[in-house]
Amino acid sequence: MNSKFDYDLLSAMMTNANMGWWEADLKTESYICSEYISRLLGLDEDGTISFKDFNKRILKEEQRHTTTHSFDNIRQTQETVYLLNTVE
């Protein structure tokens, strides 16, 4: 398997599906974001945003978070979605 090809393919699929990722860098207290997330948040080409700036974009505590409940026969799963103030 070609890991570079796999990475490029996965990146293209995620971008086409409007999905992205971020990685926390605890030393610099920043997130390194994928191309899609960077574009969504209006970040520079390096795709980094500080924890502080990222947290400013999350809706305020007094605003209700959107919660989706999924049920099946075996277990209950709860997913919380945090809305961001974005450029788009």
The reply to whether 87 falls in a domain is no
Q: In the chain, pLDDT over 70 holds for what percent of residues?
A: 65
Range of the domain at 11: 3-81
Query: Any idea which of 11-15, 26-30, 49-53, 67-71 has the lowest mean pLDDT?
Result: 67-71
The reply to whether 86 falls in a domain is no
What is the residue-wise DSSP string for 3-70?
Answer: HHHHHHHHHHHHHHTT---EEEETTTTEEEE-HHHHHHHT--TT-EEEHHHHHHHBPPTTSPPEEEEE
Per-residue pLDDT tens for 24-39?
Answer: 999 999 999 988 889 8
Average pLDDT, the chain: 76
Total domain count for the chain? Answer: 1
Per-residue pLDDT tens for 37-60?
Answer: 898 889 998 999 999 998 888 765
Average pLDDT on 63-88 reads 52
